[in-house]
Amino acid sequence: MQSALFVGRFQPFHNGHLLIIKEILKENERAIIAIGSAEKNFLPGNPLTASERFQIIEASLEEAGITPKQYCIIPIRNVNNYAIWVNHINIYVPPYTKIYTGSETVRACYEGKYSKLHRESKIGPEIVELDRELNLSATKVRQAIVEEKEWEKMVPPAVSKLLKEWDLPKRLQTIQHTIDTTKYNNKY
């Protein structure tokens, strides 16, 4: 089975993410969706739990007519060492032949893991570079929510519904000045 990996934090899952998954499924039989930084939650940049992210992705894909046979969702804790990051991901996910990314960091990690020699030998996944067709990011969605601007059209309807049920706008207001101490722990 031709499978492709798509890694993101999905804080929250938005229309751009859905567009990418649809594109992946045009070219592959299955999308492996890795929820990165699964341990992070209730922080300004990572307000949702891994379970909540799983639920909004699953609801969005169902709403879009994408069946569970076409994808799997896997939460993965972060490892703060880029040299071993690809190995860490590969421990948790099923085999894949492509990775779709718009992240320069992810691209560098894969290129570091699978050097030019390996790429010439066809070892390692093909890196498919993504262009952001929609000028959209989860940061923009969170910012619009905090600023009480229109954000609902940036996300699939299923996501909007669940985020309102969970009162994400209130959560973001409450936690907006919380400091993520984990990113400062590496400095000492």
- Give the contacts of 120 (CB within 8 A, at least 6 positions apart): none
DSSP string, 33-90: EEE-STT--SBTTB-S-HHHHHHHHHHHHHHTT--GGGEEEEE----S-HHHHHHHHH
pLDDT over 90 (residue 33): yes
Number of domains into which the chain is organized? 1
pLDDT over 70 (residue 96): yes
Which residue(s) pair with 74 in the sheet?
34
Closest to 8 (Cα-Cα) out of 94, 81, 99: 99
Looking at the whole model, is its pTM more than 0.85? yes
In a domain, 59, yes or no: yes
- Residue 131 has what pLDDT? 81
Domain region containing 64:
3-175
Closest to 57 (Cα-Cα) out of 42, 72, 38, 40: 72
In a domain, 36, yes or no: yes
Q: What are phi and psi of 172, to 5 degrees?
A: -65, -40
48-60 tens-digit pLDDT = 999 999 999 999 9
In a domain, 184, yes or no: no
CA 126 to CA 114: how far, in whole Å?
10
Average pLDDT for 170-187: 73
Q: Looking at per-residue confidence, does 111 or 48 come out higher?
A: 48
* Cα-trace Rg, the chain: 17
pLDDT over 80 (residue 164): yes
- Residue 117 has what pLDDT? 63
In a domain, 8, yes or no: yes
In a domain, 119, yes or no: yes
In a domain, 188, yes or no: no
- Give the contacts of 6 (CB within 8 A, at least 6 positions apart): 20, 21, 24, 31, 32, 33, 34, 99, 100, 101
CATH number, domain with residue 95: 3.40.50.620
pLDDT over 50 (residue 187): no
pLDDT, mean over the chain:
91
In a domain, 26, yes or no: yes
- Residue 126 has what pLDDT? 92
CA of 166: how far to CAs of 59, 60, 142, 148, 170, in Å? 14, 16, 14, 16, 9
In a domain, 24, yes or no: yes
